[in-house]
Structure 1
């Protein structure tokens, strides 16, 4: 009986220690941010797009082109890292599902982010949707 109790306490201690380690490695904030971008763009993309169009129109820089809010996908990680408003002819804007972000450094004096409108969220084979550009970036607060 005493040996069973000691064995049970030992197993429980080991499981508790291993479980604590796994929990520390789990970054909930990072998961929410990356997964949350997709949810936020799906749920609020149209409203954010309307807000941006009104903001630009109010400041005298509106457009007659079609616009749409889509997620930014990092080429390096494949993760959703933000959102942008794309702009262009209606038929072309409808094709855009995401914007790929490529990052690079120039001679140690400048850092650049290239934003490429794409017809897919898969960043393994980049292919630009021609005639579409980025008109605004959206920063979500987490």
Structure 2
């Protein structure tokens, strides 16, 4: 019994030390990423209903909507920046777990482009797998 308690304490201490080693800027990013994802997981259904009310529409057997996190894709990093409502055939919408938002600049910093791509993987750094026939129909700004 005492060994189990000691293991738990050791695990917690190791986690605290690891978080301290990450540093404040990275910890802030991790907390925001986790916070946005947690908010979308907890309130996604209500957000979806709210956007549908703005549009004056309801899901049908042909078209379904849902709210997922937006993951901004930069060089070697991703950050949850808000939420998006996606819309399309139900069997395709069910595959969407996030919206990737890759960014690029042209002409120095004169033009900045962003794409919103419904994807089937949250690991948007390694692989952006677009879900066909699904588009973004709404944006939710989340201030943390």
Asked whether the two chains share a fold, i.e. TM above 0.5, the reply is yes
Q: CA, structure 1 residues 31+110, in 2 after alignment: closer, same or farther (shift >3 Å)? A: same
Aligned equivalent of 1:131: 133
State yes or no: 1:34 paired with 2:33. yes
SS of equivalent to 1:122: coil
2: distance between equivalents of 1:32 and 1:126?
23
State yes or no: 1:72 paired with 2:62. no
2: distance between equivalents of 1:86 and 1:141?
20
2: distance between equivalents of 1:106 and 1:134?
24
Gaps of 5+ in 1: 1-21
Q: Tell me whether 91-100 or 101-110 shows the greater mean CA deviation.
A: 101-110
Q: Is the 8 A contact 2:29 2:79 kept in 1?
A: no
Taking structure 1 as the reference length, what is the TM-score of the superposition? 0.73
Number of residue-to-residue matches in the alignment: 117
Deviation at 1:72, TM superposition (A): 1.2
Aligned equivalent of 1:98: 98
- The alignment's C-alpha RMSD in Å is 2.2
2: distance between equivalents of 1:66 and 1:98?
15
Aligned equivalent of 1:3: none
Aligned equivalent of 2:118: 117
Q: Tell me whether 74-83 or 37-46 shows the greater mean CA deviation.
A: 74-83
Q: Is the 8 A contact 2:81 2:142 kept in 1?
A: no
Structure 1 segments of 4+ aligned residues over 6 angstroms from their partners: none
Deviation at 1:30, TM superposition (A): 4.1
SS of equivalent to 2:34: helix
Gaps of 5+ in 2: 1-19
